[in-house]
Structure 1
Amino acid sequence: MTFSHFHQKLLQWYPQNKRDLPWRNTQNPYIIWLSEIILQQTRVAQGLPYFEKFVKFYPTVQDLAQAPIEDVLRLWQGLGYYSRARNLHHCARQVAEEYNGHFPTDYKSLLRLKGIGQYTAAAIASFAYKEKVAVVDGNVFRVLSRYFGVDADISSTNGKKQFQQLANKAIPDSQPDEYNQAIMEFGALQCTPKKVDCQVCPLQDSCFAHANDQVEMLPVKSKKIKVTTRAFLYHEIDCGDKKLVKTRGPKDIWQGLTDFPLVEFSSPEKIDPEASDLFKELQEFKPLVDFQSEKTYKHILSHQKIFSNFVTFNIAAEKQTEVKKWADSKGYRLCNAEELEALGKPQLIVRYLNDKK
C-alpha cells in the first residue's frame, strides 16, 4: 500500500479549501488544547464563540487555572458535556502546578494530563510541536475507511486499533502537522457523512468506496447509544426577593451547575406535583402555588431525553428565616436574582427563566 498519492492530493487540496479558524494561526499549545476540548462533540460554528470567550477571559493557562470552577462552568453554560469544563479546569491547574505553566512537549507526556486522550494528545503534539503522530477523529475514520476500503467497525475496540495503525502508517515524515489538519478538514468539508459530492473530490480516481459504490456504506458503525427518557418536576420556590436553588452533585448530569429543587418521576405522563414529598413539606410555609408551567420543556442529550415541568411556590418574605433553616437541612440555599444570574445553570433552566422575562 502506497500513501504518496494520498498525501499529495490532500496537501494540495488543504491550502485552497481550509477554513480560516483562529486556532490554526498559532503553535501555542494552550490555544490548541482549548480549541480541541471545546470542539469535542461540538460543531465549529457552535464552539467558535465559546473559544473566543475563553481566550478573552483566560488568555493563558495560568489565568484559567486560577479561576473559580463556578466561573468556568458559567462561561461554558449552553455548550453541554459539562465534564469537559471540569476536566479543562483540572488540567489547567495540573499544567500550572506540576509543569510550571508549560504544556508537555511530546505525545506520551501529554497523555498524563487530565481529560487528554489519544486524539487530543496527538493534536497538540502535532500542531504545536510538529511531532509525527497521527490524529484520528470521526472525520479521519471516514476518509480512511472510504479511501482504503476498510470495513472494520469504528465503534469496536479492534476497529479503532486498526484505524489507528493505518493512520500511523499513512502520516508522512514531512509536514505531519499540515497533513493532520488536511485530512480532518477534508473529512469535515469534502468527504462528509451524507450528500457527498464525489464528482469534485480530488481523490475520486483512486478511492475504493467511489470505485465500488460504497460511499454511503462506509465507515461501518454498529453501536447505538441507548437513550433514556427522564421526567423532571422542578420546584421554583420564591421567598421574598430570593429563590431556593441547589448545586447538582457528582453522580448525575450537569455536575456543579445550579438548578431548582427537583423531583424525578418514572415518565412524563406520571408527573404529579401533589404526589411529591417536597410538595407536602412546602405546605408548612403556606405558599401560593401555581401548579404547572404552561409548557413541557424538552431537552435532548446524547444519552438522555429529558421532559421537564415547573411548579412555582410563593412564600411570604417574613418566613425567610424558617425557609432558610429548612433549606439548609435539605442542601438547598437562598439566592437573589443577581446571584442566580451569575451562576452556571443547565440550558434547560436558562430557557425557562428567559421565557418568564
Structure 2
Amino acid sequence: MIVIGAGIVGAACAREYARQGLSVAVIEQGAVGAGATAASMGHLLCVDAEGAPDTHEYQLSQRSMQLWAEWLAESPAHGEAAEHDQCGTLWLAADEEEMQAALRKQAWWREVDQPTELLDADQLQRAEPLLRAGLFGALHVPADARVYPPRVVARWLEESRATLVRGEVVDIQGSTVRLADGRRLWGALIVLCGGLASQRFLPAGCLQPKKGQLAITQRSGSSTVRHQLVELGYLKNAHRTDEDTVSFNLQPRPGGQLLIGSSRQLNRDDTELDLAMLQRMLAHAGSFVPTLPQMSLLRCWSGIRPASRDGQPLIGAHPRLERVWVACGHEGLGITTSLATAELLAHLSLAQTPLLDASPYSPTRFAATP
C-alpha cells in the first residue's frame, strides 16, 4: 500500500498498516517530518468536551493518548527518541471569568475520571515563578506531555520498514499514483496524508490554511518553566474564523529553552515570517512572563496548519476516488491524534470494526462541494 506524505500522520499510518501485515511505500516530496509536523509545538493533550456540542474530539484525542502511552511503554528508547516529557499543562486563568471556566473544565474532567488540580493564585506563583503576578489561578492537567515530532516520524517510519519514495504526486487514478517525473506506482490501498497539499486531490474548499509563528529561546541555566503554559482563551481563539489571533502558549524544552507560540493567520499558506504578527505574539507572551523580552531568541519560524473547513479532520474513504483513503485536516491536533487517526483509518479500510465513531470525520461530507 502507498502512503502519500511523511508527516506525523503519514508516519503513524505507515506504522499501523505495517503492524497489520501490509508492505508500505511512503511518498514524500520534501524532507521527512517537515511541513506542519516540524512547525508544531509537539504538545500531547487530551481535549475536554466542556461546552462542546459532542465528545468526538475528546474521544479521538483520548484514544490517541492511550496509544501514545502504549508506544512509550514498549521501550525506554521510544521516550528517548521522542524527547518525551510528561510536563503536564497549566491552563491559565487571567481573571475571574476564566477561573470559572477552569472550574467547569475540572468538573467535566472529573466525570471521565481524569485527574486534574485547581491552583489558586498563590499556588500558581509557587509552581511557576516566572509568571506575572495577578493571575487568578490555573487548571493543572498532569497527564499532558510534549514530544519532538520530527524524531517521532523518523522512528515510526523505521518501525514500519517502509520504502521511502522521493517525488511529487501529480495524479491518482484507481490504484496508480503518478509522480511529476513520470514514474507510476501501484498500491492495493492509497492513503492521502499530505496535509494542505492533499487539497489538490479533494473537493474544493475542504482544507484551509492557518499560518502560525513560533520562536525558541537560547538555552538558559537560570530559572525556567516546568509545565506547558496555555491561556484559557487559547481554544476560543483557535476556532475563530473571522480574524487573525494570538494566544499565550509556552513550552519548556531541554536545557532551559522556551518554545513560544501561538498565532493564527487565516487563509495564509506562505511560510515567510510575518514580523508584525511575530512581534504581536511575543509581546503577548511577555505579558504573561515579564522576563521573556530579556531572553535571547535562537530561531523564529512559521508553519501552516492544515485545517478542515468545519473543524473536524478528514478520516475515511475518499468521496470520489476508489481505493483511496484520507487522513488530513487535523489543524493543531495532528501530533496528539496521529495514532488514533491511523488506527481508525486502518480499521475502516481493512473492513475491521472501528473502536470509535468514524462518521464525524468522513470525507464524504464534502462530496457535494463544487
Q: What's the TM-score bracket when you normalise by the shorter of the two chains?
A: under 0.3
Structure having the higher strand fraction is: 2
- TM-score, normalised to structure 1, is 0.25
Structure (1 or 2) with the larger CA radius of gyration = 1
Structure having the higher helix fraction is: 1
Structure with the greater relative contact order (CA < 8 A, sep ≥ 6): 1 or 2?
2
